[in-house]
A = this chain, B = another copy of it.
Amino acid sequence: MLSKTHSKYIQSLHHKKFRDADDVFIAEGNKVVPELVQSKRFVCTEILGTKEWLQQHEVFLRQYYNGPLEEVESFELEKISALSTPNQVLALFKKAATPAIELKGRISLVLDTIQDPGNLGTIIRIADWFGISNIICSLNSTEMYNPKVVQSTMGSLGRVNIIYTALPEWLEQHKDIRIYAAALDGKPVQQLKGIKEGLVIIGNESKGISKEILDMVNERITIPKIGEAESLNAAVATGIILSHIV
Protein backbone atom coordinates (compact mmCIF):
# COMPACT_ATOMS: atom_id res chain seq x y z
CA MET A 1 0.00 0.00 0.00
CA LEU A 2 1.39 3.31 -1.14
CA SER A 3 1.13 6.23 1.30
CA LYS A 4 -0.57 9.40 0.12
CA THR A 5 2.59 11.42 0.71
CA HIS A 6 4.74 9.04 -1.28
CA SER A 7 2.21 8.85 -4.10
CA LYS A 8 2.17 12.66 -4.26
CA TYR A 9 5.95 12.77 -4.24
CA ILE A 10 6.19 10.45 -7.24
CA GLN A 11 3.53 12.44 -9.08
CA SER A 12 5.58 15.59 -8.45
CA LEU A 13 8.43 13.96 -10.40
CA HIS A 14 6.34 14.20 -13.57
CA HIS A 15 7.50 17.82 -13.50
CA LYS A 16 11.02 18.97 -14.31
CA LYS A 17 11.16 21.36 -11.37
CA PHE A 18 10.82 18.54 -8.85
CA ARG A 19 13.10 16.17 -10.77
CA ASP A 20 15.75 18.87 -10.71
CA ALA A 21 15.31 19.52 -7.00
CA ASP A 22 16.01 15.91 -6.07
CA ASP A 23 18.13 14.87 -9.03
CA VAL A 24 15.91 11.87 -9.69
CA PHE A 25 13.64 10.72 -12.52
CA ILE A 26 11.05 8.05 -13.09
CA ALA A 27 11.02 5.23 -15.60
CA GLU A 28 8.14 2.90 -16.33
CA GLY A 29 7.42 -0.36 -18.00
CA ASN A 30 8.37 -3.93 -18.39
CA LYS A 31 11.12 -3.18 -20.86
CA VAL A 32 12.52 0.16 -19.75
CA VAL A 33 12.86 -0.51 -16.00
CA PRO A 34 14.93 -3.73 -16.24
CA GLU A 35 17.15 -2.17 -18.93
CA LEU A 36 17.91 0.88 -16.80
CA VAL A 37 18.37 -1.18 -13.64
CA GLN A 38 21.17 -3.14 -15.30
CA SER A 39 22.72 -0.09 -16.96
CA LYS A 40 25.78 1.22 -15.16
CA ARG A 41 24.79 4.80 -15.81
CA PHE A 42 21.90 5.20 -13.39
CA VAL A 43 21.50 4.20 -9.75
CA CYS A 44 18.05 2.84 -9.03
CA THR A 45 16.65 3.98 -5.69
CA GLU A 46 13.20 2.41 -5.63
CA ILE A 47 11.05 -0.03 -7.61
CA LEU A 48 7.27 -0.14 -7.32
CA GLY A 49 5.51 -3.00 -9.06
CA THR A 50 2.50 -5.25 -8.98
CA LYS A 51 2.87 -8.46 -6.99
CA GLU A 52 3.08 -10.61 -10.13
CA TRP A 53 5.61 -8.40 -11.85
CA LEU A 54 7.91 -8.29 -8.83
CA GLN A 55 7.69 -12.06 -8.38
CA GLN A 56 8.61 -12.63 -12.02
CA HIS A 57 11.54 -10.20 -12.02
CA GLU A 58 12.97 -10.37 -8.51
CA VAL A 59 15.82 -12.77 -9.31
CA PHE A 60 16.88 -10.67 -12.29
CA LEU A 61 16.61 -7.34 -10.44
CA ARG A 62 18.58 -8.57 -7.42
CA GLN A 63 21.66 -9.07 -9.57
CA TYR A 64 21.93 -5.31 -9.95
CA TYR A 65 19.84 -3.71 -7.23
CA ASN A 66 19.61 -3.99 -3.45
CA GLY A 67 17.02 -1.33 -2.65
CA PRO A 68 13.32 -1.63 -1.85
CA LEU A 69 10.91 -3.61 -4.02
CA GLU A 70 7.50 -2.21 -3.16
CA GLU A 71 4.38 -4.09 -3.96
CA VAL A 72 1.60 -1.81 -5.21
CA GLU A 73 -1.84 -2.32 -6.68
CA SER A 74 -2.60 -1.54 -10.33
CA PHE A 75 -4.83 1.37 -9.37
CA GLU A 76 -1.98 2.86 -7.36
CA LEU A 77 0.40 2.56 -10.31
CA GLU A 78 -2.20 4.24 -12.47
CA LYS A 79 -2.19 7.19 -10.08
CA ILE A 80 1.56 7.70 -10.09
CA SER A 81 2.14 6.89 -13.76
CA ALA A 82 3.10 9.67 -16.17
CA LEU A 83 1.90 7.64 -19.15
CA SER A 84 -1.51 7.34 -20.70
CA THR A 85 -1.19 3.55 -20.62
CA PRO A 86 0.27 2.72 -17.21
CA ASN A 87 2.49 -0.28 -16.73
CA GLN A 88 3.08 -2.92 -14.10
CA VAL A 89 6.19 -1.25 -12.79
CA LEU A 90 7.60 2.19 -12.09
CA ALA A 91 11.08 2.94 -10.75
CA LEU A 92 13.03 5.90 -9.46
CA PHE A 93 16.60 6.53 -10.59
CA LYS A 94 19.28 9.04 -9.72
CA LYS A 95 20.18 11.23 -12.68
CA ALA A 96 23.64 10.57 -14.09
CA ALA A 97 26.55 13.00 -13.91
CA THR A 98 27.26 14.79 -17.21
CA PRO A 99 29.30 12.25 -19.19
CA ALA A 100 32.68 13.00 -20.74
CA ILE A 101 32.39 12.70 -24.51
CA GLU A 102 35.03 11.81 -27.06
CA LEU A 103 34.40 13.23 -30.54
CA LYS A 104 37.53 12.00 -32.33
CA GLY A 105 37.18 9.12 -34.75
CA ARG A 106 33.42 8.84 -34.50
CA ILE A 107 30.13 10.36 -35.56
CA SER A 108 28.14 12.29 -32.94
CA LEU A 109 24.64 13.73 -33.14
CA VAL A 110 23.88 17.36 -32.38
CA LEU A 111 20.26 18.34 -31.73
CA ASP A 112 19.22 21.95 -32.20
CA THR A 113 15.98 22.57 -30.30
CA ILE A 114 14.30 19.17 -30.58
CA GLN A 115 11.13 19.82 -28.62
CA ASP A 116 8.90 16.78 -28.90
CA PRO A 117 9.71 14.23 -26.14
CA GLY A 118 8.71 11.32 -28.39
CA ASN A 119 11.12 12.54 -31.06
CA LEU A 120 14.00 12.93 -28.61
CA GLY A 121 13.41 9.47 -27.16
CA THR A 122 13.21 7.91 -30.62
CA ILE A 123 16.42 9.69 -31.68
CA ILE A 124 18.23 8.31 -28.60
CA ARG A 125 17.00 4.82 -29.55
CA ILE A 126 18.17 5.32 -33.17
CA ALA A 127 21.59 6.51 -31.96
CA ASP A 128 21.87 3.36 -29.85
CA TRP A 129 20.92 1.20 -32.85
CA PHE A 130 23.63 2.73 -35.04
CA GLY A 131 26.27 2.71 -32.32
CA ILE A 132 26.40 6.50 -31.99
CA SER A 133 27.73 7.16 -28.49
CA ASN A 134 27.21 10.92 -28.15
CA ILE A 135 24.25 13.27 -28.43
CA ILE A 136 24.83 16.97 -27.84
CA CYS A 137 21.59 18.89 -27.23
CA SER A 138 20.98 22.64 -27.31
CA LEU A 139 19.90 24.05 -23.95
CA ASN A 140 16.34 24.58 -25.21
CA SER A 141 15.90 20.98 -26.35
CA THR A 142 13.42 18.90 -24.41
CA GLU A 143 14.84 17.34 -21.23
CA MET A 144 16.18 13.78 -21.45
CA TYR A 145 14.53 12.86 -18.13
CA ASN A 146 11.01 13.78 -19.25
CA PRO A 147 8.97 10.58 -18.63
CA LYS A 148 7.89 10.43 -22.29
CA VAL A 149 11.49 10.67 -23.44
CA VAL A 150 12.55 7.94 -21.00
CA GLN A 151 9.68 5.77 -22.24
CA SER A 152 10.37 6.17 -25.93
CA THR A 153 14.11 5.44 -25.62
CA MET A 154 13.05 1.86 -24.75
CA GLY A 155 16.09 1.46 -22.51
CA SER A 156 18.64 3.10 -24.77
CA LEU A 157 18.94 6.02 -22.33
CA GLY A 158 21.47 3.97 -20.36
CA ARG A 159 23.75 3.47 -23.36
CA VAL A 160 24.13 6.87 -25.02
CA ASN A 161 26.10 9.86 -23.65
CA ILE A 162 23.86 12.92 -23.66
CA ILE A 163 24.90 16.45 -22.76
CA TYR A 164 23.08 19.80 -22.85
CA THR A 165 25.09 22.85 -23.77
CA ALA A 166 25.01 26.29 -25.41
CA LEU A 167 25.39 25.00 -28.96
CA PRO A 168 26.97 27.93 -30.82
CA GLU A 169 29.75 28.26 -28.23
CA TRP A 170 30.22 24.51 -28.01
CA LEU A 171 30.53 24.18 -31.81
CA GLU A 172 33.00 27.07 -31.83
CA GLN A 173 35.17 25.10 -29.39
CA HIS A 174 35.12 21.98 -31.58
CA LYS A 175 35.98 23.44 -34.96
CA ASP A 176 38.43 20.63 -35.60
CA ILE A 177 35.49 18.24 -36.14
CA ARG A 178 33.64 18.49 -39.47
CA ILE A 179 30.02 19.61 -39.16
CA TYR A 180 27.25 18.11 -41.30
CA ALA A 181 23.68 19.35 -41.18
CA ALA A 182 20.35 17.90 -42.27
CA ALA A 183 18.79 20.50 -44.57
CA LEU A 184 16.26 20.80 -47.38
CA ASP A 185 19.07 21.62 -49.81
CA GLY A 186 22.46 19.94 -49.88
CA LYS A 187 24.28 16.82 -50.96
CA PRO A 188 21.94 13.83 -51.39
CA VAL A 189 22.39 11.54 -48.41
CA GLN A 190 22.88 8.57 -50.76
CA GLN A 191 26.19 10.11 -51.89
CA LEU A 192 27.66 10.30 -48.39
CA LYS A 193 29.43 7.12 -47.50
CA GLY A 194 32.02 6.00 -45.04
CA ILE A 195 32.24 9.14 -42.94
CA LYS A 196 34.41 8.18 -40.00
CA GLU A 197 34.24 11.35 -37.94
CA GLY A 198 31.89 14.28 -37.69
CA LEU A 199 28.99 16.05 -36.05
CA VAL A 200 25.56 15.62 -37.62
CA ILE A 201 23.15 18.41 -36.74
CA ILE A 202 19.40 17.79 -36.70
CA GLY A 203 17.17 20.83 -36.42
CA ASN A 204 13.89 21.74 -34.81
CA GLU A 205 10.71 19.92 -35.93
CA SER A 206 9.20 22.94 -37.66
CA LYS A 207 11.90 25.61 -37.86
CA GLY A 208 14.92 23.50 -38.81
CA ILE A 209 18.42 24.56 -37.78
CA SER A 210 18.87 28.08 -36.46
CA LYS A 211 20.67 30.58 -38.72
CA GLU A 212 23.56 31.10 -36.31
CA ILE A 213 24.36 27.40 -36.26
CA LEU A 214 23.74 26.85 -39.98
CA ASP A 215 26.50 29.39 -40.66
CA MET A 216 29.02 27.13 -38.92
CA VAL A 217 28.17 24.03 -40.98
CA ASN A 218 30.76 22.51 -43.33
CA GLU A 219 28.43 20.35 -45.40
CA ARG A 220 24.67 20.19 -45.85
CA ILE A 221 23.00 16.83 -46.31
CA THR A 222 19.57 16.39 -47.80
CA ILE A 223 17.15 13.49 -48.13
CA PRO A 224 15.93 13.83 -51.72
CA LYS A 225 12.18 14.29 -51.98
CA ILE A 226 10.35 12.45 -54.74
CA GLY A 227 6.76 13.11 -53.68
CA GLU A 228 4.91 16.02 -52.16
CA ALA A 229 5.23 15.92 -48.35
CA GLU A 230 6.55 19.20 -47.02
CA SER A 231 8.92 17.64 -44.50
CA LEU A 232 9.96 14.47 -42.72
CA ASN A 233 9.68 13.84 -39.00
CA ALA A 234 12.97 14.77 -37.24
CA ALA A 235 13.52 11.26 -35.84
CA VAL A 236 12.84 9.65 -39.24
CA ALA A 237 15.32 12.04 -40.88
CA THR A 238 17.92 11.16 -38.24
CA GLY A 239 17.45 7.44 -38.88
CA ILE A 240 17.74 7.86 -42.64
CA ILE A 241 20.90 9.97 -42.45
CA LEU A 242 22.64 7.64 -39.99
CA SER A 243 21.73 4.57 -42.05
CA HIS A 244 23.56 6.09 -45.02
CA ILE A 245 26.66 7.51 -43.41
CA VAL A 246 27.46 5.05 -40.63
User: Which chain A residues have a beta carbon within 8 Å of chain B's beta carbons?
Assistant: 31, 118, 122, 125-132, 154-156, 159, 189-190, 223, 225-233, 235-240, 243-244, 246
Residue of chain B at shortest CB distance from A237? B239
Our pick among B125, B128, B132, B228 for the contact of A159 (Cβ within 8 Å) is B228
Q: Are B246 and A244 in contact (CB under 8 A)?
A: no
Number of this chain's copies in the complex? 2
Residues of the B chain whose Cβ atoms lie less than 8 Å from the Cβ of A189: 243
CA gap between A159 and B239 in the complex, in Å: 24
- Are A223 and B243 CB-contacts (below 8 A) given A128-B228, A155-B230, A156-B229? yes
Q: Are A126 and B243 in contact (CB under 8 A)?
A: no
Our pick among B127, B225, B236 for the contact of A122 (Cβ within 8 Å) is B236
- Are A128 and B229 CB-contacts (below 8 A) given A223-B243, A243-B223? yes
CA gap between A128 and B231 in the complex, in Å: 10
Q: Are A232 and B129 in contact (CB under 8 A)?
A: yes
